[in-house]
Chains A and B, each alone.
Chain A
Amino acid sequence: MASRTRPLNLWAAVTAAALGCLTLGTAVVVARQSGSLIPLPADWAAVRFTLLQAALSALISCVLAIPVARALARRCFAGRSLLITLMGAPFLLPTIVAVLGLLAIFGRAGAVNDLVAWVGLPRLSIYGLHGVVLAHVFLNLPLAVRMILLGWQGIPAERFRLAASLGLTPAAMTRHLELPMLRAVLPGAALVIFVLCLTSFAVALTLGGGPRATTVELAIYQALRFDYDPARAASLALMQFTLCALAAAAGWAVAREGGFGAGLDRPAPITAPGGWRRIADAAAITLAAAFLLIPLAAIVYRGVPGVVDLPTGLPQAMARSVAVALASTLLTGVAALTLALAVAARTKGATLFEAAAMLPLAASGLVLGTGLFLLVRPFARPEDLALPVTVLVNATLALPFVYRLLMPQARALHANYDRLAQSLGLSGWHRLAWVTLPRLSRPLGFGLGVAAALSMGDLGVITLFAGERGVTLPLLVHRLMGSYRMEAAASAALILVCASFALFALFDWMGRRAAP
């Protein structure tokens, strides 16, 4: 049906152009300034390590997630839906807090090493490849569980009923129902985690390092901060951009499905086998919960005593972080809403707008940061622009998540109510206030909450720009760790994680409250 052609949406075009400049423009800046285009041996080592740790993290997360997701899919127990909700939390957990929690358990003086020493074995070091992979599995196992659980819940209950009525054994049921689902779901889940680990910076910064455990992202930081070698940082950034662009292109179709959807807490519809399988399921759930919860409990345990005597500069760092989070959330929200509405309405250029909204998936914080660093350096001192740049980069990186959360509802809104709104002559601000925002408030509140928490806990581009002063809360935690003030770091981390979740809960609550 030939609908009325819609004029190009100017705001969406401006937003898309800004995103293009930020992601592709910085890449061009980086490419122009890169030194020799022939990478050094150390650069290749960084690329190899980056790919290796991302692949191992994705593989291990997915393999461990299978029994946990299956147990959650087919068992009913008290606290099941709470546990599934908690599985969404590590996505919002500031990385530096997760690392601190893992150090408390697996670090040199952690509980696991105490046990190892007690048995009489030499203490293990958490630093290096296995530490990086451990942290990435900790951060991404819940994401893998949720994605695979969605796959399990996507198998129609009738299918299981049919299998049961045919008297299939548990092994046959696995072969005919569960393996096909896993074949469809696992590659996507692994790819999403692989991409996330490719650009992970804070984990490599704290647990990696040295010639054998440096990611490209970390190498960029070191080239810029320690070697003062912008040309080398630029050529590394170019390599990282290429890696991310390739991975994002591979993951394009997969990543379009959000990793955290609604409808995860319906009761288990599957009739579960008893016997030893019941015990195995209980073990899987218990082990996963312990692995995820004990490090967090350690932060609370270590952090609470120090809360009465907070490190100096914490209130200021907190205020800066909240301001950065709110500003970048506002920016992301406006940009994501503008693009989502334009794409849902299929305005001219909608395909380009959709591509622009996905572009940041191919970007990394440090590549954007390097580009901006090189751009502003001739005109201003980078530390003077640390906070605005952080706002801009955080807003850019969060945009695809918010956009994807908004898109289904935006499409439904357009399909159901666009003609009615048009026939009543509703347009512009009035339409936004009376129709669009009320109808989209739930996904918008949730998306803004995610953006705010991600920005609040981000330890990325700020490390490139920050000077002695002007630190954010995650950077303060990192610096306290660097000076081995672990108790103070734990207290600051505890406050950071509370603030992140409070911001998320606040936006989510506002969205729910505004919803009809």
Chain B
Amino acid sequence: MLHLDHLDLSLPDFSLTADWQVPDCARVAIIGPSGAGKSTLLNAIAGFVVPTAGRIRWDGQDLAPLSPGDRPVSILFQDQNLFPHLTLTQNIGLGLSSRLRLTAQDQANIARALDRVGLSGLGQRRPAQLSGGQQGRAALARALLRARPLLLLDEPFAALGPALKSEMLDLVAAVADETGATVLMVTHDPDDAQRFADQTVLLADGLALAPVATRDLFANPPQALRDYLG
């Protein structure tokens, strides 16, 4: 279970606090105006931003001493999710072993993960030879194999068209089901939240509100959400 315990990410010209928990296997959308700190919140959980105060716990364990690679986290960034000079197999393999000494078993697992995300037989391609959607799928294949219990999405599909994006969200849901992961997804699109997330965190006025059921939130939007939706 993810627990943001009196978390404070404030800086001199920015403020964001959060104090809530997310149950296991939940799918949470994080919405709010730009500049509210959606990405900052994700980056703090992933270990790239140091909290001003408070704790981030996973199953009771404080994550503060853990480096980003040691946290129970897979994260998909807005872009640059793959190294352009490595093949897909190598890119995914780096998620398994940083020495890239891949056993036959690893190779088979990578091939299966590629099958699973619809990239059968493309293991030897470089990212530049793939479309944007395919690159997203490859990053998801790596998340699938790493099977970390927390999957963070920092708008990795923002550049895709609506049809492709909902396809990718379905794939994320499938991957999360298989690995039993909790998913936190930043989005600026209310449709994404309603389509994908059973719960939603609203960021407003320096506060990340506790997650509430997405359906209830949109059925009866608070003033901050009405302002955002316009």
A435 to B99, CA, bound (A): 11
Interface pair B98/A5, CB less than 8 Å apart: no
A1 to B39, CA, bound (A): 11
Instruction: Produce 1/0 per residue, B68-86, CB < 8 A to A.
Output: 1110011101001111111
12 contacts between A and B (CB under 8 A): A2-B50, A5-B50, A419-B80, A423-B47, A424-B69, A424-B95, A425-B69, A425-B98, A426-B98, A427-B69, A435-B83, A516-B86
Q: Which of B11, B70, B81, B98 contacts A420, CB < 8 Å?
A: B81
B49 to chain A: which residues have CB within 8 Å?
1-4
A11 CB within 8 Å of chain B: no
* Given A3-B48, A4-B47, A435-B83, residue A423 in contact with residue B73 (CB < 8 A): yes
* Given A1-B40, A2-B50, A3-B49, residue A424 in contact with residue B85 (CB < 8 A): no
Q: Which of B40, B69, B75 contacts A426, CB < 8 Å?
A: B69
Kindly identify, within residues 401 to 448 of chain A, every residue whose CB is under 8 Å from any CB belonging to chain B.
Answer: 416-417, 419-420, 422-427, 430-431, 434-435, 438-439
B126 CB within 8 Å of chain A: yes
B158 CB within 8 Å of chain A: no
**Minimum Cβ distance to chain A for residue B58 (Å):** 15
A425 to chain B: which residues have CB within 8 Å?
67-70, 98
B46 CB within 8 Å of chain A: yes
Interface residues contributed by chain B, number (CB under 8 Å): 31
B2 CB within 8 Å of chain A: no
**Minimum Cβ distance to chain B for residue A513 (Å):** 13
Interface pair B11/A423, CB less than 8 Å apart: no
**Minimum Cβ distance to chain A for residue B106 (Å):** 15
Q: Which of B68, B82, B83 contacts A423, CB < 8 Å?
A: B68
Kindly identify, within residues 484 to 516 of chain A, every residue whose CB is under 8 Å from any CB belonging to chain B.
Answer: 515-516
Interface pair A419/B67, CB less than 8 Å apart: no
B210 CB within 8 Å of chain A: no
Interface pair A422/B85, CB less than 8 Å apart: no
Interface pair A423/B40, CB less than 8 Å apart: no
Q: Which residue of B lies closest to A4 (CB)?
A: B50
Interface pair A419/B48, CB less than 8 Å apart: yes
B159 CB within 8 Å of chain A: no
Kindly identify, within residues 22 to 69 of chain B, every residue whose CB is under 8 Å from any CB belonging to chain A.
Answer: 40, 43, 46-50, 52, 67-69
Kindly identify, within residues 84 to 109 of chain B, every residue whose CB is under 8 Å from any CB belonging to chain A.
Answer: 84-86, 90, 94-95, 98-100
B11 to chain A: which residues have CB within 8 Å?
1-2
Interface pair A424/B73, CB less than 8 Å apart: no
Given contacts A419-B48, A516-B126, 5 further A-B contacts (CB under 8 A): A4-B48, A5-B50, A419-B80, A420-B82, A430-B99
Interface residues contributed by chain A, number (CB under 8 Å): 23
B95 to chain A: which residues have CB within 8 Å?
424
Q: Which residue of B lies closest to A516 (CB)?
A: B85
A216 to B86, CA, bound (A): 52
**Minimum Cβ distance to chain B for residue A400 (Å):** 27
A424 to chain B: which residues have CB within 8 Å?
69, 94-95, 98
A380 to B75, CA, bound (A): 59
**Minimum Cβ distance to chain B for residue A12 (Å):** 19
Residue with the highest number of chain B CB atoms closer than 10 Å, among A423, A430, A515: A423
Q: Which residue of B lies closest to A426 (CB)?
A: B98
Interface pair B47/A430, CB less than 8 Å apart: no
Kindly identify, within residues 2 to 30 of chain A, every residue whose CB is under 8 Å from any CB belonging to chain B.
Answer: 2-5
A434 to chain B: which residues have CB within 8 Å?
83, 86, 90, 94, 98, 100
A427 to B67, CA, bound (A): 11
Interface pair B46/A423, CB less than 8 Å apart: yes
Q: Which residue of A lies closest to B71 (CB)?
A: A423
Interface pair B85/A431, CB less than 8 Å apart: no
A3 to B82, CA, bound (A): 22
**Minimum Cβ distance to chain B for residue A6 (Å):** 11
Q: Which residue of A lies closest to B99 (CB)?
A: A430
Which 3 pairs show the lowest CB-CB distances between chains A and B? A425-B69, A516-B85, A422-B68
Residue with the highest number of chain B CB atoms closer than 10 Å, among A1, A427, A438: A1
A430 to B69, CA, bound (A): 14
A417 to B82, CA, bound (A): 9
A419 to chain B: which residues have CB within 8 Å?
46, 48, 68, 77, 80
A425 to B146, CA, bound (A): 12
Interface pair B126/A423, CB less than 8 Å apart: no
A515 to B77, CA, bound (A): 25
B81 to chain A: which residues have CB within 8 Å?
420
Instruction: Produce 1/0 per residue, A243-270, CB < 8 A to B.
Output: 0000000000000000000000000000
**Minimum Cβ distance to chain B for residue A156 (Å):** 28
Q: Which residue of A lies closest to B37 (CB)?
A: A1
A427 to chain B: which residues have CB within 8 Å?
69, 98
**Minimum Cβ distance to chain A for residue B170 (Å):** 24
Q: Which residue of A lies closest to B82 (CB)?
A: A420
Kindly identify, within residues 165 to 192 of chain A, every residue whose CB is under 8 Å from any CB belonging to chain B.
Answer: none
**Minimum Cβ distance to chain A for residue B136 (Å):** 14
**Minimum Cβ distance to chain B for residue A337 (Å):** 17
A438 to B83, CA, bound (A): 10
* Given A1-B40, A424-B94, residue A417 in contact with residue B83 (CB < 8 A): yes
Q: Which residue of A lies closest to B48 (CB)?
A: A419
A3 to chain B: which residues have CB within 8 Å?
48-50
* Given A431-B98, A516-B84, residue A423 in contact with residue B74 (CB < 8 A): yes
**Minimum Cβ distance to chain A for residue B145 (Å):** 12
**Minimum Cβ distance to chain B for residue A29 (Å):** 43
Q: Which of B43, B73, B80 contacts A417, CB < 8 Å?
A: B80
A417 to chain B: which residues have CB within 8 Å?
80, 83
**Minimum Cβ distance to chain A for residue B158 (Å):** 17
Interface pair A416/B98, CB less than 8 Å apart: no
A5 to B100, CA, bound (A): 28
